[in-house]
Structure formats: C-alpha cells, structure tokens
A and B are shown apart, each in its own frame.
Chain A
Amino acid sequence: MKYETVIGLEVHLQLSTNTKIFCGCANKFGEAPNTLTCPVCLGLPGSLPVVNKKVLEYGIKIGSALNCKINSFVKFDRKNYFYPDCPKDYQISQFDFPIAYDGFVTIPMDDNGEKKITIHRAHLEEDAGKLIHDAQANCSLVDYNRTGTPLVEIVSDPDLRSPQEAYDYLQVLKLTLQYLNVSDCDMEKGSLRCDANISIREQGDTKLGTKTELKNMNSFKAVKVALEYEENRQRQVVEAGDRVVQETRLWDDAKNMTLVMRSKEEAHDYRYFPEPDLVPFIQDEKIIEEIRQSIPELPAQKLERVIKEYQISEYDAKIIIQDACLAGFFENCTKYYKDTKKICNWMNGALLQEINSRKTTITDITLKPEDFSLLIKKVEEGLISNLAGKDVLKFMLDTGKSADVLIEEKGLAQVSDDGALKEIIQQVISENEKVVQQIKEGKDSAAGFLVGQAMKKSKGKANPKKVGELIRQILKGDS
C-alpha cells in the first residue's frame, strides 16, 4: 500500500525586543538566574500586564512578511494550566484573534518548481520560565528570567508532505525571519523552537489520519530525523493492523527515537477566555501600513533581483542571500569593482572560509567592502598572486589594514619585470634540460612544470601568467 505523509509545524520564535512583552524587564539571554524579574513577570498578586508596543510591531512585521492578513483588532486571552515555570498559572496568549492569519511561504521543490505552504496563523504570547532539575539536591529550581519573553507562534497548515519539505519550510521561514531582524532565530539557544504534527494516510485519501505531536527537537536536522522516524513508526503500526494513537511524543536525540509523553486523554483543557487585564483595541490601519512599509526586501525578492541585476549564477546568488548582511556586503563591493562574478568567487570562497574558520559573521568583521574589492582588483590585475591574495585577506581580517599597506609591508607584490623574470627563467631552463626537450618535442603541458619551478625560485612573487608567456617566448626563440 502507498502512504502519504501529512505534516504541519508549529514554530515558536522569541522576539528580540529590548524589554519583555508585558513589563519593563530586560529581554536578555544568559544572565544570572532571577535577575531579570519584577512583580509583573513574577506574576505576583496584584501586578498587571501592559502590552509592549514593539512586540505588536514585530508581530505585524512577521505576519506581513509571511503574506498574512493582519488583525487590527488586538486582543489577548488567557490559557490556563498549572506548572511551576508559569508563575500566574496561566499564559497570556491570543486565541480567537491572532495578530496575523491566512498567509503562505513558498518552498523550493526538486523539479525546480515551488510549493506554497499555508500559514494558518501567527499569534503573540509570553514565554515561560526555565526549570532546572537538580537531582543531587533532590529539588527543582525555577529561573524566571525567560518568563515574559515575547514569543510569536507560527502555525502552518498540514500542507507539508515529507520530512524534507518540513526541513525546507523551516529553512525558508528562518531566513525570512532573519531578514526582518526580529529574532536571532537560534534553535540551540531556544530562540526558535519547533513542534511537529504528523500523520499518514493512504495515497489518495482526503481525510486526515490520526496525528501525533512531536516535541523536543533541538535543530532543523533533528526535526527532519524525528519526522522520518515517526513516519516509519506510524507506517509500521498501520501495517501491523493497529491504529495510530493520538498522543504527544518526545524526540530523544541520544536514542534516536520518539517516546510517549502524554496521551490525548491526558491533554489539557486550557479554558481559554479573554484576558480581562488587557482591554482589546483597534490598531490604526495607518500604523499597520507604516509597519508593512518598513519591511526590508525579503530573501525571495532579493534572490531574483541580484541574479538579474548583477548577472551572477543562481548558485552564487543563493549563497549570498543566506544572510541579508552578506548580500549587503556583496552589493557594496560591486560599487568598487565591476566584475561581479569575481566578487562572488572571492566572497563565497576565501572570505566565507575565513569567516567560518574564525567562527564569526560578516557583521562582526572589520573588513570594508571597498578594501575587499581593491584586493580582488589587485589579484585580477596580476599585481599579486592568487595565493598571496588569500594571505593578504587573512592579514586584513587580523589587522584591519588595507590591502595596499599589507602588500607593501609583506613585500608581496608580484615581479612582472621582464628583465628580472628572464634571469630566473634562464636559470630554470638550464637546470631542466630534459623538460625543455619534451616541450620542444611538442609536450606543451610540461611548460607548467617550468612555471612552477620559476615561481619557487621567486618565492611566489613572480607573476605566473607572465612567466608562462616568457618561457614560451624564450623556447620559441631558441628553436
């Protein structure tokens, strides 16, 4: 029997506002426990929430970028459940009026086509605190620093048909969100979290099968692997003649499998009702429009534009747009050097290698686009060798000095002077008579060996192109 897999994803994104969603506490990661708290985010008796306007702005931005409709009626609700990480024992969330709804993102398909994944809704809510279970002390501790961190939950329709599509969807979503600069989207730090709903059904069936909900995946790859595991598990259950049970399962990264967390019977009744401490209000359409207008160019648009505008390959363009800052760096470079293909080669090759090996980012390095462009120009004009160019780049990143200064300081300028080169070449020719003979017999490729020898003698400073030309010239003159 052929099965079809049906997947929907829920993504929780921590917003990088300066302050928390309902109080003035700093919204930061990694501080000493319980130092970023106040009566409001501790849920102390008598305290009241006040909505952070920046959070609304970010919500509208995200909704708009995901092609959603925006609810101008802003309303919050209470989701009631008891847990020590939730100091009020209810979470302020949005139930029937999410800030954004009915949107889509487009994911790439194998056949070079595209697929639209519907965004069901995106709503605002507060994050919970963090529990630390201390087995030695036989107790659990609560850190309320995270309590009240603004979250947006982005819920897709069950439009995804494979773990790979789910993975691609997450990639596209993450990139879009990164462009908006509303979150650092770091799954390891927990600023982006993903739960997955998955079911299988017979190919051609229109009714959804019984789903399970997967939690505790700590990377995009884990999401994919967990979904693959679950897809298989459900298939085996069905093929054994059993029924899939509706339940929540936890992904165990070490064991590489999903394990039951709670069944449907144990599912919570959250008793949602309108948050009476926050009066609903109508957001001015003009403000919504202003926020919409403030959205930067998004990855899909940028990809299309840079390919057209700079005549570069889709492959190169895709690397460049992976990071809005990288793309910005590229575009700045084109102002100083016209060969866009060469800029791509240098950026996607040497520069990214350096950045990655230094575990830094394009925004954290001091390299200026004009200096980087100048370096490429020097190499392409033959002033320095390709190899020396890569060294200069390293020095530039280390010292922040310009290419000019470094070439001078390190004496890296190529020797292109005919007289000096001819002297070296004559030496090489006299030391390698056999090879010279081969070349004369027509084995032109052997000339490369001589070039290499000449380079060695010049300690890398000789211009290899020039050396090649001169060797041929000299040998031709001899014959």
Chain B
Amino acid sequence: MKLNALTAHEILDLIKDKQTTPQAVLDEVQQHIKQSDKDVHAYVRLAKNSNISDVSVDQNAIPIPIGIKDNICIKGEETTCCSKLLTGFKPPYNATVIEKLKASGAMFVGHTNMDEFAFGSSTENSFYGVTHNPWNLECVPGGSSGGSAAAVAANEAIWAIGSDTGGSIRQPASFCGVVGLKPTYGRVSRYGLIAFASSLDQIGPLTKDVTDSALLLNILAGHDSKDSTSVDQPVPDYTKALTKDVKNLKIGVPKEYFVEGMDAEVKASVMQSIEVLKQCGAQFVDVSLPHTEYAVATYYIIATAEASSNLARFDSVQYGLRQNPAQKRKTTLVDMYEESRSVGFGEEAKRRIMLGTYSLSSGYYDAYYLKGLKVRTLIKNDFDKAFESVDAIITPTSPTTAFKIGARAKNPLDMYLSDIYTISANLSGIPGISIPCGFSKEGLPIGLQILAKPFDEEMLFRIAYTFEQNTEWHKKKVGF
C-alpha cells in the first residue's frame, strides 16, 4: 500500500523500523495531491514550507503530514476562513493547536476548504468553490470541515484538523467515511481559531481510524492560559483508552432521534451497529432527551447571535479586503463598511449576520436570545439526566448520507436539518465522535455518533475502538 494511504500509527511504526522517513511520507502525500486534488478540491492553499515544526525528528516526534482547516491561524500563512473578505490575511501568530503540532513534529500540508466562516454543512459556501466527496464526486463532502474530511478520505493527508460548532467535524466525517471527533468544550484551546460561535466552537481531529484520533487528541488537548474557556483538567493518554472491551457498559439510545425524515439505510446501519456492540457485551437502554426538537432552533439563535458579533471585526479597517464605493459621492466610513462587507461576505454569512443581529436587538433579545439560552440549559439538563443512567449515547451522525452538490443549496432550512443529531452536543458541551458504520447501496458512507459525559473522551475511544475492531468499515478505502 502507498504511504499516503496508511494511518499515522502505521507510518510511525514504519519510521521506527527505519522502513521509511517522514520526508518520504510527505513527498508521497504531496505527489498524490497533485493528481487527485484537481477532482476533490480539498485544499484551498498548499503550504510552501511544510515545516511548521522546529524540532528535529527525535524518538518522541510524531512527524505526520496534516491538513489544517482554513479558519485556524498559522503564522505568516494566509488564513481566510474561505471568505473573500479575508483575502490576503496572514496572521502574525500561531493558533495554540498549531504550536502544539509544531512541538510534536507535525508537517503542514495546506489549508483545507470549508464553508465560509464555517457557515454550512456542505462546503458549498466556500469562496473558493465546493469540495467533492471522494466517494462520489457529484456529492458534497459535508461541512463545514468538508475539505479536512475529504483530504483524509482521499489520502491527501494522513491527519486533518477541523472545527465543530454544530457538527462541522462529525457530519463531514460521516459523509466521507472517516473518524471525526468533537472534544468536550474547553478540552482544546480555541486560541487562534477564527471564531464562528465562541460558546460552541471546538477544534478536533479528523483521522482514518480511532487509534489515530486518540493519538491526535493527545497532541491537541490541554489547558491554555490564552483561552479562558479552556478547562484546566489533566489530559490522560487517550491511547490507553483503546481497549477492546465494552462489557457491561450501559449505552443509551434516544428515542427522539429515530424519527421521520431519517434515511432507512442510515437507520438500518445504526441498528446493526448496536447489534455489534451488544454482541461485545454492551447493554442498550432507551433514554429520553425531551428537548431535542428545540435543538436546531436554539442553535440557530445562539450561534448566529454570537457570529453576528464575532464577524463585526471584519470591517476592512486593519486587514482583509477593502472595497471603496463605486460612486464617488459615497465616501463616508459607513459606505466603506457597507461596500466591503457587501462584496466580501457570501450569502450565507450575510444571512446569519442578519439573523443574529436581529435576535440580539433591543425588543427582541428576550424573546429570542434569552429564551435560546434558557432552552440550551434544558437541553444540557436532558443530557445530564440521561448520563446519570448510561455511560454513553449512540445515535446516527446525520439523518442521511452525502447529498448531491446543489441539492440543498437553495433551501437553507433543509441544509440546517442535516446537523439535527450533532447540534445538541455543542449546545451541551459534551464530546462526540463519528465513526464509519456502513455504506448505502449507492456506496456512500454512513456514520455512527457516540456521545459521552463532559471530559469522558476515553469512553468514546473505548466504544469506538471496540466497534472498529469488530467491523471492517474503516478498512474500506476510496478509489483515490
């Protein structure tokens, strides 16, 4: 098998046995990108210099080629959130996760495609054009971390980093047949992640298997004094949680998640997966998350409100695109703001800024934003209560498999529903992982979502690893 098609732990074994070198792996990944990214378009910018790492490759180094979502700041590398407005913005600093990757020896392949400012579930809202699903180029890769998921699936990166605000790591992982983890809110520093919704955003790994996910989280996790929302809690060695043992674990299945609109093939795959875990000794019980039906509405109130404020700084004063009004008589400051933001932001960004501005406005705040915060607490309480009796919860990652490019682009509400199973984890701050659990008749991957208590990523890895070791889904490779 080609080096670029291997997992990180396989590559590390080869390097250790001196059967290959980090440079050889990087070369092969870059070589492959040249051929395949014309079709996939996972990357928006390839790194000129891949050595984000200063450290010489020593015994403990993990020199793995990695793709970084275009909303994570790398010093001196253009970082745009795939927005026209941020064209030319080169951060003068590294995100904390980049510093950590640097220290571990990782090699930077390039910035991956995404929905503009992470607004979307299909990567169609990118200024740089859509990414194609490696399993079927006519389909979307999911989003917003679609470029990262596609890069890993198409062997254009060994690892990738995404961000997840309402499912933006897990849903594309599900669509592209890879492993995607959203850690607990506060587990990974957000410093240097260009914010979409600050109280929901979390950086996480996209990998080819569960072992790699644990390896990468080991690097990313930890308290950061630069991020007040990161939690000062010890980081365990997540690879120690990779045990093939789910005996006597109690896993909940929320009845509210298996409803109308769910793809029959998705449902069947999830049910089959439950059987696999049952055979491994896990016990399944029904749980109820009664406020599930309000999750999407709550999410779009809170996320857009925060986004409207977070995106205010893109005013073209200090950096990014500056567009002066065409008509000469218009020369005021407000005209510059309006023109730059009108030209620079895409449709979905404008829609969300307007939604968020509206729900924060005087006279509407109580009815929308404040109520949203209250319902968010209720949703969190649902999970707290459920986790009193179960160790984990299993759901589908998305109600459908990857849809055709353009199929939902015209209907934002349809698009929003594609995150219906992932949003609640962000609202309640709990960790969630999506792992491959089957394929549709058309050959598109299906994802299984596992949710656990805050800071219990080890539980996710334990269940996911057991499932992976007892199935072959993760071994099925795309033809790239």
Q: Is the CB of A26 closer than 8 A to any CB of chain B?
A: no
Cα-based distance from A45 to B319 in the complex (angstroms): 10
| A43 adjacent to B313 (CB under 8 Å) | yes
Contact B229 A277 (CB under 8 A): yes
Contacts of B73 in A (CB 8 A): 45-46
A39-B92, A42-B318, A48-B190 known; A269+B362 contact, CB < 8 A: yes
Chain B nearest CB from A33 CB (Å) reads 14
Per the bound structure, the CA–CA distance linking A134 and B210 in Å amounts to 59
A46 touches B95 (CB 8 A): yes
Which partner residue on chain A sits nearest B201 by CB separation?
A276
A271 touches B360 (CB 8 A): yes
- Give bound CA distance, A87 to B318, whole Å: 8
The answer to whether B315 and A271 have CB atoms under 8 Å apart is no
Cβ of B199 within 8 Å of any chain A Cβ, yes or no, is yes
* B298 CB to nearest chain A CB (Å): 15
Complex contact A271–B362 (CB within 8 A):
yes
From A78-86, A117-125, A419-427, the one touching the partner chain is A78-86
Chain B 377-388 interface mask (CB, 8 Å, partner A; 1/0): 000000000000
* B473 sits at the interface (CB 8 A): no
CA distance A430 to B225 in the complex (A): 90
Chain A, 22-60, contact with B by CB distance < 8 Å: what is the 0/1 string?
000000000000000001001111111111000000000
Judge whether A323 is part of the interface by a CB distance below 8 angstroms.
no
Name A81's closest neighbour in chain B (CB-CB).
B312
Judging by beta carbons under 8 Å apart, are B361 and A82 in contact?
A: no
Complex alpha-carbon distance, A276 and B429, angstroms: 13
B-chain residues with CB within 8 Å of residue A88 when the two chains form the complex: 312-313
Which chain A residues lie closer than 8 Å to B315 at the CB level? Answer: 82, 84, 89
- Please give, as numbers and ranges, the residues of chain B lying within 8 Å of A278 by CB-CB distance: 228-229
Q: How far is the CB of B273 from chain A (nearest CB, A)?
A: 35
B228 touching A45 by the CB < 8 A rule? no
- Shortest 8 CB-CB distances between A and B: which pairs? A89-B312, A276-B198, A276-B199, A271-B360, A45-B194, A46-B192, A46-B73, A46-B194
Complex Cα distance, B313 from A49, in Å, reads 14
Q: Could you tell me the distance between the alpha carbons of A195 and B334 in the complex, rounded to whole angstroms? A: 25
How many chain A residues touch B (CB < 8 A): the figure is 28
Q: How large is the interface on B (under 10, 10 to 19, 20 to 34, 35 or more residues)?
A: 35 or more
Q: CB within 8 Å of A: which residues of B? A: 71-73, 79, 81, 86, 89, 91-93, 95, 190-195, 197-199, 225-229, 305-306, 308-309, 312-315, 317-319, 333-334, 337, 357, 360-362, 365, 369
CB of B225 within 8 A of CB of A50, answer yes
- Judged by DSSP, the binding face of A is loop
For the complex, what is the distance from the CA of A47 to the CA of B357, rounded to whole Å?
22
Q: Which residues of A are found within 8 Å of B227, using beta-carbon distances?
A: 48, 50
User: Are A277 and B228 closer than 8 Å at their CB atoms?
Assistant: yes
22 examples of A-B residue contacts, CB within 8 angstroms = A43-B318, A44-B93, A45-B81, A46-B71, A46-B72, A46-B73, A46-B191, A47-B93, A48-B190, A48-B226, A48-B228, A49-B228, A50-B225, A50-B228, A84-B317, A87-B318, A89-B312, A271-B360, A273-B369, A276-B199, A277-B195, A278-B228
Q: Nearest Cβ distance between residue A50 and chain B, in whole angstroms?
A: 5
Best-surrounded residue of A46, A78, A279 (most CB of chain B within 10 A): A46
Contact between B309 and A47, CB atoms less than 8 A apart: no
User: Do A273 and B225 form a contact, CB below 8 Å, given A46-B193, A82-B337, A88-B312?
Assistant: no
For the complex formed, measure the closest distance between the CB of B299 and the CB atoms of chain A, giving whole angstroms: 14
Q: Given A45-B79, A273-B306, 8 other A-B contacts at CB below 8 A?
A: A45-B194, A78-B309, A82-B334, A82-B337, A273-B365, A273-B369, A276-B197, A276-B306
Alpha-carbon separation in the docked complex, A89 to B337 (Å): 11
Q: When the two chains form their complex, are residues A39 and B199 in contact, meaning their CB atoms are under 8 A apart?
A: no
Residue in A43, A45, A89, A276 whose CB lies within 8 Å of B91: A45
Q: What are the residues of chain A within 8 A of B365 when measuring CB–CB?
A: 271, 273
Residues on the A chain within 8 Å of B190, using CB: 48
> In the complex, how many angstroms separate the beta carbon of B228 from the nearest chain A beta carbon?
5
- Closest residue of chain A to B192 (Cβ to Cβ) is A46
Q: Are B357 and A84 in contact (CB under 8 A)?
A: no
Interface residue? A142 (CB, 8 A): yes
Residues of chain B within 8 A (CB-CB) of A271 are 308-309, 357, 360-362, 365
Contact (Cβ within 8 A) A44 B92: yes
| Chain A residues within 8 Å of B191, by CB | 46-48
A39-B93, A87-B318, A276-B199 as given contacts; A51 in contact with B309, CB under 8 Å: no
Bitwise, A455-477 to B at CB < 8 A (1) or not (0) is 00000000000000000000000
A45 and B313 form a contact (CB under 8 A): yes
Residues on A with beta carbons closer than 8 Å to the beta carbon of B318: 42-44, 87
Would A90 and B362 count as touching, CB distance under 8 A?
no
Distance in angstroms between the alpha carbons of A272 and B72 in the assembled complex:
27
Give complex CA distance A279, B181 in Å.
24
Interface residues of A in 234-286 (CB under 8 A from B): 269, 271-273, 276-279
Interchain nearest-CB distance for A68 vs B (Å): 25
Q: How far is the CA of A277 from the CA of B200 in the complex (A)?
A: 11
Q: Is the CB of B91 within 8 A of A273?
A: no
Contacts of A87 in B (CB 8 A): 313, 317-318
